Structure 1
Amino acid sequence: MIERRPVTTALQTLLATLTGFPVGKGAVPLNAAGKPVAPPYTLLYSLDDTDADHTLADNGKAVVLDYQATFVSGPVPGQPDSRGGLDQAEWMADRGRKVVERPADGSSGYRYPLTVPGATCYHREARGAGGTSDATDAIITSVIRFRLHLETST
């Protein structure tokens, strides 16, 4: 059986690496002092999960997990009149979309590894799901839904 928590942690780590900004699991990420960080950051939500074995004797060796990554733009720290914008939100989403990027040399697999103990992610999908804006906060978001197909490693 593939547990979701290690997959979520692996995706959180990969998104933070690709964007260069913190990623919170279902909540605003916290800094080292335990305080919420100011945008920009990414919010990662666990969505659906589906058994992917499609066998009569389901032994839990494969699963499809869906996630939503909400890329949150924000004011530039130290610039009081700055605000988040679409360019920043789209830049972050473009960086996050690299989760599904293939190697430039045409080899199999993915350019950026998703390291999950005991499991292999053999197929990844990304689908843009729009975004939102809040003029009062000067925050704009861009959303990608990821679908990860995993099987247990042998």
Structure 2
Amino acid sequence: MIDREPVTQGLQALLAALTERPVGRRTVPLDADGTPAPPPYTILYPLDKTDDDKTLADNNKAAVVDYQATFVSGPKSGEADSRGGDEQVQWMTDRGWKVVQRPADGSPGYVHTLNVGPGVGCWHREAREAGGTSDANDGIMTGVIRYRLYLETTA
């Protein structure tokens, strides 16, 4: 059986590295003082998990896990009456797409390492953009990517 917690920690760390912004799990991330971090940031939601990878070689040592990453824009620090905008959201989601980025030379694997815990490997990753909010009058805008990770025990 593959535990979800190390997988969630690995994806959270990868998204934080790619966006260079904090990532919270199911909530707004907290800064070092324990207060909510100002946007932009990402909120990561664990979704479905199944232990069937639908392959002929399924040896009951695999799992497929789904996540949603909501990329949140926000006002620019130090600018009165500023709001989150489309450019900021697109920049964040473009960074989020790097989770599934393949090497340009065609070699196998992924450009960015996803650490999912000892004895577990992620052999395939999928992503799809799933919308977001579009009203800048709300003060924030969001973009959403849903990830599907195919995992298998390696030991």
TM-score relative to the length of structure 2: 0.92
The AA in structure 2 aligned to 1:150 is L
Give matches, 1:67-146, under 5 Å.
67-117=67-117, 118-146=119-147
User: How far apart are 1:52 and its partner, in Å?
Assistant: 2.2
> Structure 1: how far apart are the matches of 2:107 and 2:36?
40
The AA in structure 1 aligned to 2:139 is A
User: How far apart are 1:22 and its partner, in Å?
Assistant: 0.4
In the alignment, structure 1 segments of 5+ residues that lack a partner are: none
Aligned-residue Cα RMSD (Å) equals 1.6
Structure 1 runs, 4 residues or longer, greater than 6 Å off: none
The AA in structure 1 aligned to 2:138 is D
TM-score relative to the length of structure 1: 0.93
In the alignment, structure 2 segments of 5+ residues that lack a partner are: none
Q: Which residue of 1 aligns with 2:28?
A: 28
Q: Deviations over 1:86-134 (max 9, x none)?
A: 1111110010010000011211000001012221000000000001145
Give the total of aligned pairs.
152
Matched, 1:147 2:134: no
Structure 1 residues 54 and 87: CA distance shift in structure 2, 3 A: closer
